[in-house]
Each structure stands twice: as C-alpha cells, then as structure tokens.
Amino acid sequence: MARAVVGNPFENQIPTVSPTAQPVDIYQRGVVKSSPFASLADNLSRLSQKADRAFGNVEKRAAEREFAEGQELYNKTRLAIGDAVREGIIDEGESPYLRKGYRVSQLNVLANKYATDLNVALEAQQLYKNGNPAAAAKFSQDFYNKFVEANDLSGFAPTELAEFLTPTTQKANAAFISSWKTKNISWQREQNYIQLGQEIGAYTDSFNFYTGKDPKAVASNRKVLSDWIQSKVDGAEVNGMDRQKVNKLLVDSLILTAEENKDADLLNLLDDIQVGTGKLGSSIAVRNAVLSSQKRIASALQSEEVAQAKADKAEADAKQDGYESAALIAGFKLLSGDNSGEAMQELEASLADMIGAGNASEAKTWLNFALSMDKQGSEVADNAASAKIFEEIFKDDISRSEAAKILTTAIENGDITKESARSFLSDITRRLEKDGKITPLPILKSGNLASETYDDFIKLVGAKDQYGNPIDQNLINKAKRDFQALYLDWYNSLEVPPSEAANYQKALEISEALTNKYVNQSVENITDQALEAIEISRDPELAAAAEAELAEQIAERQRLQKQNDAGLIKRLANWWSSEANTSAPMPTKN
Amino acid sequence: MCEPVTMALASLGAAGTGAAVGAAGSAAAASQAALAIKGISAATSALGAVDASRKQNAAVAANTASARDAYFMKTKQANLQIAQEQRQASQQKRDADLKATKAQSTAVAAAGASGVQGVDVARLIDDFERSEGVLADRISQRLEGMQAQTEMNKLAFQSEANNRINSMQPVGFAETLFNVVEPIAGFGLDYMDESNRLASLEA
C-alpha cells in the first residue's frame, strides 16, 4: 500500500477579496411645489394684457372723441372769429387764427429752407467724400443746431415746432443720411477706379525706365514695371472690380504716360499684362488705341522738330536783325560824316558776323550801302527821284536790306542829295519793325481813303487845263514831295498809329492846303464837275434824283415839242382851209 | 362659480339679437358673431381646464403608486440577494472546515504510521488551521462588502422613487379655479371692448 501524501489542502486555493463597492446615484431633483399665488399671478398677468388693450382702447376712444369735439369747437370758433373779422369786430391782426397761420407759414418756409440748405451742403461741401456714417450724422445734427441758432425760433411754441418744423427736419436729416450713403457709395465706386488709374499713371510716369540706357537694365526695368502692373490688375480682379473698366484705365494710363513722355516703347508693356485668358494688348480695341497713340507720338516728335527748326531760324533771324541794325547805324554815322573810324569798325564787325552766319550776300549789300553812304550824291535835290524813292521805300512791306539797296543805288547814281539820303535813313530807322520790315505809310498803301485822297490830289495836280495843256512834271513831283513831307511830319509826331479816319482827315487837310498852291482853278472846276458826276453815279439816291430830273426835263421838252407841232398843224390847216375855200368844198364825213 | 357655457350662450344670444336688429350693419353683425365665437371658446377653455386638472391629478396618483411599487420590488430583491450571499458564505466556511479536518486526520494518521511524532507534525496541523482561518476571513470580508453595497443600493432605489414621484405635480384647487376664471374674465374684457367699440361707432 502506498503511503498517503500529506499536504496543505488550501495550498493555492485561498482567493483574495475582490472589490464589491459600486457608486450609486442618490440624486433627487428639487421640486417647486405649485403655489396658488403664483398661479393667480400668472393668470392675472395674462389677463392684464387683454385688460391693457381693452382699457387702452377705452382711453383711445375717449381721446378721439375729445379730439373730435375739440376739432369741431376749433372750427366753430374759427368760423366765428372769421365772421367777426369780416364784420370788423376783430382786427385782422388780432385774429389768433391768422396769427397762427402766419407762424405756421413761417415754420413751413423755415422747414423747406432747412431741407434745401442741407441738401445743398451735401453737394457744395462734398460731404459724401467722408465715409464715416457718424460724421454724416454729426454734421446733420450740427447743421440743425446752427440752423436753430441762425433762425430765431423763440417766437414759436414748442408744440408748433414739433408739429410743423421737427417732422420736416427729421425727414430731411433721414434723407440726408440716405443721400449721403448713396452718394458716398457711388463716389467711392468711382474713386476706386480713379485712384487705381492715378496710381498706375503716377508709378508709370515716375518709373525710371531707361536707367543707364543699358539694354539689359531697360529689359529688367520693363519686367519690374510690368510685374507691378500685373499685381495691381490681379488685385483688382480679386477684389471684384469691373475688368473692362480696369483694362480701360490701364490702357488709358499707359497711353497717356507714353504720349506725355513721347515714348512709344511704353506701349509695349500692354503686351506683357495678362488679363483673363489673354494679353491686354491683344484685343482689337487696344491695338487700335495703341496704333493711334503711336501715330500721335510720331506726329508730336515731328512737330517738336519743326518747332525747333523754327526756333533756330528765329534765333538766326534775330541775330541777322542785330547785324543789319548795326550796319544801318554804322551807315547812318558814315552818312553823317563821322570819320572817327568807329562806325567803320562797327560795320566791319557786323559784316563779319553776317558772313559768319552764312549771309554773305546780305553782307555784300550792306557793304555797298556803307560805301555809298560815304559818297556825296547829287548836289541838287531832285524831287522826282525823291518822290519815287519815297514811294518805293514806304509803299510796300520791304525789308531793311531792300531799302538799303534802293538808297545805295540812288546815291551812287546821284539821284538824291546826301541830305535827302540822311532824311530817308532817319525815316527808315523810325519806321523799322522788329521783323526788319519797314512799315508802309497809309497814303501809299492802296485800299484806304487816305491813299485815294493822295492819288486824287496827284491826278488833280497832273490834270490838263481847260485848254488841254499838260502840267509840268516838276510841279507834280514837287507837289508829291510836299504832300509826302507834310504827311510824314504829322505821322511821325504821333505816339500811336492813327486810325483810318484820322489818316483820311489829315490827307484831306493836306490836299486842300496844297490844292490852292498847285492846282489851276479851271482844272479844279472841271474836276469838281467830274467828281460830282462820280459822286452821283455812286450814290443811288442822287442817281435816282438826277434821273428824275432828267426825265422831267425830257418830258418838258417833249411837251414843248408837241405844242410846237400842234401849232404847225393848226397853221397848216388854216392855210389849207383858206386855199380850199377858193377851189372846192372839203369832203364831209357821213 | 360662473357657468362658462351659460355666458357663452348669452353672448351668442346677444350676437343673434344684434344680427337680427341689423341696425349696425353687416360689420357689426360680423363683429358680434366673432364675439360669440370668443364666448364659446372661453367656455370650452374653462371646461377644459377643469378636465385637465382632474386628469392631471389622476396621472400623478398613478405615477406615485407605480414609483412606490418599483421601489418595494427593488429593495426586496436586494435583500434576497444578500441573504443568498450569506448562505453561500456559510457553506464555503463549512466546506473549508471539513477539508482542514480531513487533512489534519490524514496527517496525524500518516505520521503515526511512519512513527513520526513531535513538533513537526504539530506544526503541519497548525498550518492547516491557519489556512482555513485565512479562507474563512476572506469569505467574511467579501460578504461584508456586499452587504454594504446593498444598503447603498437601497438608498439609491429610494432616491429614484422620489424623483419619479416628484416628476409629476398635482394641480391644486386654487390653480384649477384660476384656470377656469381666466378665459371667462378674458371674454368679459373682450365683450366690454367690443361693446364700447360698437357704441362709439353708433355715436
């Protein structure tokens, strides 16, 4: 038999104590027991809403009834007061209704003025440019306060103000705020585009595009500028701005800048700007605009060159004018007998300048002039030559050089005396214009009354006498010279050029003064008749009167002729009768 | 207490009279008809308030009874569960005692057959007894824990029952009375307002 094994029966069989506690929920929600008073209050609260409305209606109806009664009473009283005014019991000025009507009218005027002024202020002061609503509200409030201060309202009762002024001012203020908002939004919308255009224009205009004129630098600058414009375009697109307007702004700004700087290369930037799905410069409208702008730029550059050429010519002309003036003065000194040598040096200097400026022919003309001025000329005054030279110099717009040539020729030919040459030079200098031209005298310039008077006088002087004898030419030339001298003296004495009427008047005076001296009386009578005939032919009224007189004379002559004819016939009839009585009777009519 | 149905019928009679007279015109007749409808509405509202109060109180009583029954049953079952646990613990202790006694006897017999005696055998038997004591103590600790938890569960059952009972409140007499009075009084105000309005129109 095997031996029993003795061991601890609880070995590894004793359990540990497992936890048994568990959380429990013993929460009890608080309970508010319903109170009869709370229920009563709740019911009363609901009832009070109906009661308020019902009792309010009672009050409202009572007020309406009282108001209607008051209105009726007011109207009755108004009628009674009106009757009293009509009957003279109460003066119009004392009628409370008229007085109130006057005040109401005043308040209406003030209210309308307030609304108008406030609206005008919005436009005139351009308040809509301020985007702050509080500023607009403050302005309207300040405007009201100033309006109240400016217009004394102390004579009005508060109820009158509340009834007739305040509603209108409040409406005007509300309309002002609304109008301000609308205008501000509209203004801001426009300003967005304007500002964008100005920004692009200003940046493009100030951008130093051609730094260093290095092709690489120019290309780099162009890239920078196009990138910047592209960023502005993209930003505008993101912000929801109208693409068409933005594109137009961009095109206009670049075109304007290009035309201002006369730089057509700037227009090529339009081909770098990406808008939408294509390049900005690729549309037909933009290409047309670019083409037109390029033409304008080319035209402007051409005009600039022409203007520069004109300026250069004007500068050269001015220099030549200076040279000629110096030569003229030098010649005048030489003519005056200045032998100091200074005049000759000045002349030589001016001639050298002329040659230096490429005007050799002009220099030759003035050299001849100076040399001739040193000659003595004629010893006896020749009126014919002087009159002819006078007319050549002062008739048309001739230049100083041409005048110098005329004088040179006259001196060298001995046509005029040295004194006459000096006199002519003095007159030329006096009548010299800034452009080197000599101003013509009115009596020599055709197409005015003074010149006609001068011509008539010369014709009168040169007319044949009643016997058909011609007038001595020397006399005519002397008359010319006298006329020319008198007129020129008068003309030179004036500080400002005379009017045409004054010219004519002076020419008439000179003509009358010289007529007695140079014109034969018979010639004058014939001339007067001729002038009268011309005057009649030119005046329709005189011509008509002359025709009427002539017709009357013809009629009278015809009447006399008829009388003569009738007398002759009568005499013949008498003769025939006497002859017939002696032979056979006259046949009678059945 | 005013009888709502009587008032409503009275308003209907007034409306009918007003319509029969016909002096105020069709607008007045329509207004009086609307007033009659308001009167009927007020009467039915008052009756509804009384009926609603009665039904509310009945529901509250049923809810309270149900909550109490549920609490009783849960507590009872909890007590039964802990009693069963006690029996189980008692049986486990008894089984351990028997197992220890058997082991001791086997050890003593084996030692005697082998001629072994002395301190070593006594120590072996003491070891068996200590092990049994430890096992019995562990069983007691577990039982105590479960008893404590059961007591707490019963407290939770009580709270649950109270919450359920309190979830429905009975309608008091005064509240019922006011709920009846409110529509009738409101109709009275409407009647007065409408009468005044018609009177003002006739004036």
Residue-wise pLDDT for A527-554, tens only, equals: 666 666 667 666 777 778 877 887 888 8
pLDDT digits (tens, 9 = 90+) for B109-129: 888 888 877 788 888 889 999
Long-range contact list for B181-185, CB < 8 A, 24+ apart?
A: B181/A43, B181/B46, B182/A43, B182/A46, B182/A47, B182/B45, B182/B49, B183/B4, B183/B41, B183/B42, B183/B43, B183/B45, B183/B46, B183/B49, B184/B2, B184/B4, B184/B7, B184/B42, B184/B43, B184/B46, B185/A47
- Angle separating helix axes A449-462 and A500-518, nearest 10 degrees: 10
Cβ neighbour number for residue A108 with a 10 Å cutoff: 13
CA-closest candidate to residue A237, choices A273, A185, A183, A271: A273
What SS3 class is residue A378? strand
Contact between chains at B134 and A25 (C-beta distance less than 8 A): no
Q: Averaged over A237-241, what is the pLDDT?
A: 84
* CB-CB under 8 Å, B100 with A54: no
Q: Which ipTM score applies to this complex?
A: 0.71
Coil, strand or helix: which one is A155?
coil
Lowest average pLDDT, out of A76-80, A105-109, A152-156, goes to: A152-156
Q: d(Cα A49, Cα A176) in Å, to the nearest integer?
A: 40
Residues A233, A244 contacting (CB under 8 angstroms): no
Name the more confident of A159 and B20: A159
Chains A and B form CB pairs within 8 A to the count of 126
Q: How confident is the model at residue A213 (pLDDT cuts 50, 70, 90)?
A: low
**CB-based contact B85:B146 (threshold 8 Å):** yes
Q: ∠ at Cα A73 (A67, A77), nearest 5°?
A: 145
CB contact under 8 A, B182 and A13: no
- Alpha-carbon gap, residue B37 to B14, rounded angstroms: 12
For position A377, what pLDDT does the model report?
56
- More confident site: A205 or B185: B185
For residue B15, the model assigns a pLDDT of: 44
* Range scoring the smallest mean pLDDT among A270-279, A370-379, B20-29: B20-29
CA distance A43 to chain B (A): 6
CB contact under 8 A, A58 and B196: yes
| Whole-number Cα distances in Å, A34 to A29, A37, A38, B165, B175 | 15, 9, 7, 15, 8
The two tokens of residue B141 are: 């600790």
Q: Inter-chain contact B156–A57, Cβ cutoff 8 Å?
A: no
Q: What is the pLDDT of residue A380?
A: 63
Q: pLDDT band for A465, please (50, 70, 90 cuts).
A: low
Nearest to A50 among B113, B186, B200 (CB): B186
> Where are the extended beta strands (E) located within A249-374?
274-275, 278-279
pLDDT in tens, A422-456: 778 777 777 766 666 777 888 888 778 888 888 88
Angle (CA) A9-A14-A20 rounded to 5° is 155
How close does chain B come to A66, measured CA to CA in Å?
Answer: 12
Please give the backbone phi and psi of residue A89, each rounded to the nearest 5 degrees, phi first: -70, -40
Interface test with B, best of A13, A17, A35 (most B CBs within 10 A): A17
- Higher-confidence residue of B102 and A347: namely B102
* Cβ partners under 8 Å of residue A219, min gap 6: none
User: Which residues in chain B touch residue A6, judged by CB atoms under 8 angstroms apart?
Assistant: 103, 106-107, 110-111, 124
pLDDT at A375 over 80: no
Contact (Cβ atoms closer than 8 angstroms) between residue B194 and residue B35? yes
Check: CB of residue A10 under 8 Å from CB of residue B99: yes
d(CA A543, CA A439): 40
Residue A333, SS3? helix
**What does B32-99 look like in DSSP terms, one character per residue?**
HHHHHHHHHHHHHHHHHHHHHHHHHHHHHHHHHHHHHHHHHHHHHHHHHHHHHHHHHHHHHHHHHHHH
Give the separation between CA A370 and CA A412, rounded to whole angstroms: 11
Residue B196 CA: distances (Å) to CA of B42, B64, B149, B203: 20, 51, 73, 10
CA A13 to chain centre: 124
Contact B138 A14 (CB under 8 A): yes
- Statement: residue A515 has pLDDT above 70: yes
Q: Which residues contact B136 (CB under 8 A, 6 or more apart)?
A: B93, B96, B97
Q: Does the structure show a pLDDT above 60 at A301? A: yes
CB atoms under 10 Å from CB of A466, counted, come to 11
Q: How far apart are alpha carbons A162 and A555 in whole angstroms?
A: 99
C-alpha span between A139 and A437 (Å, rounded)? 68
* First and final C-alpha spacing in chain A: 227
Could A26 and B155 be called an inter-chain contact, meaning their C-beta atoms sit closer than 8 Å?
A: yes
DSSP annotation of A163: I
Q: Which two tokens stand for residue A125?
A: 């002061």
pTM over 0.80: no
Token couple for A149: 């201060």
pLDDT greater than 70 at residue A584: no
| Mean pLDDT, chain B, integer | 85
Question: Residue B4: what pLDDT?
Answer: 44
Q: At residue A412, what are phi and psi to the nearest 5 degrees? A: -65, -35
Of residues A27, A34, A47, nearest to B159 (C-beta) = A27
Closest CA to A322 of A356, A295, A289: A356
d(CA A441, CA A394) in angstroms, rounded, equals 6
State percent of chain A over pLDDT 70. 84
Q: DSSP string of A382-410? A: -HHHHHHHHHHHHSS--BHHHHHHHHHHH
How many residues are given for chain B?
203
Q: What are phi and psi of A377, to 5 degrees?
A: 75, -160
pLDDT of residue A145: 87
Query: Is the pLDDT reported for residue B108 higher than 70?
Result: yes
The 3-state DSSP class for residue A358 equals: coil
For an interface test with A, the pick among B93, B149, B193 (most A C-beta atoms closer than 10 Å) comes out as: B193
Q: Are A104 and A160 in contact (CB under 8 A)?
A: yes
Does the distance separating the beta carbons of B182 and A10 come in below 8 Å? no
Which amino acid does the sequence have at A519?
V
State the pLDDT at residue B160: 96
Closest CA to B52 of B164, B185, B175: B175
CA–CA distances in Å: residue B97 to residues A550, A555, B101, B131: 189, 194, 6, 10
Residues of B in contact with A39 (CB under 8 A): 172, 174-175, 178-179
- SS3 state of residue A432: strand
Q: Provide the 10 A C-beta neighbour count for residue A119.
A: 14
The rounded distance, in Å, linking the Cα atoms of A389 and A413 is 13
**Among candidate residues B26, B2, B32, B3, the one with its CA nearest the CA of residue B197:** B32
Give pLDDT, residue A311: 87
Helix (H, G, I), strand (E, B) or coil at A279: strand
Rounded distance, CA A263 to CA A257, Å?
Answer: 8
| Reduced 3-state DSSP string for A498-544 | CCHHHHHHHHHHHHHHHHHHHCCHHHHHHHHHHHHHHHHHHCHHHHH
- In the prediction, which pLDDT does B7 show? 47
Instruction: Write out chain A residues lying below 8 Å of B159, CB-based.
Output: 25-28
**Helix segments in A2-95, DSSP class H:** 36-86
Is the confidence at residue A9, as pLDDT, over 60? yes
B113: CB partners within 8 A, 6+ apart: A3
Average pLDDT over residues A482-491: 86
> How far is A374 from A410, CA to CA, in rounded Å?
13
pLDDT surpassing 60 at residue A44: yes
Residue B66, pLDDT > 90, answer yes
CA distance readout (Å), A401 to A283, A336, A356, A395, A418: 61, 19, 18, 15, 19
Give me the sign of the Cα torsion angle A560, A562, A568, A574. Answer: negative
For residue B191, what are its two tokens? 């009647």
Of the listed ranges A6-15, A210-219, B153-162, B184-193, the one predicted with least confidence: A210-219
Long-range contacts of A54-63 (CB under 8 A, 24+ apart): A54/B189, A54/B190, A54/B192, A54/B193, A57/B193, A57/B196, A57/B197, A58/B193, A58/B196, A61/B196, A61/B197, A61/B200
Short-list A449, A440, A458, A457, CA closest to A499:
A449
For residue B21, is pLDDT > 50?
no
In whole angstroms, what is the distance from residue A393 CA to residue A406 CA?
Answer: 8
> N- to C-terminal Cα distance for chain B?
35
Tokens of A131: 């985007």
Q: What is the mean pLDDT of chain A?
A: 80
* pLDDT at residue A106, rounded to an integer: 85
Mean pLDDT of A161-180: 86
Report the gap between the CA of A38 and the closest CA in chain B (Å): 9
Supply the pLDDT for residue A587. Answer: 47
Q: Per-residue pLDDT for A177 more than 60?
A: yes
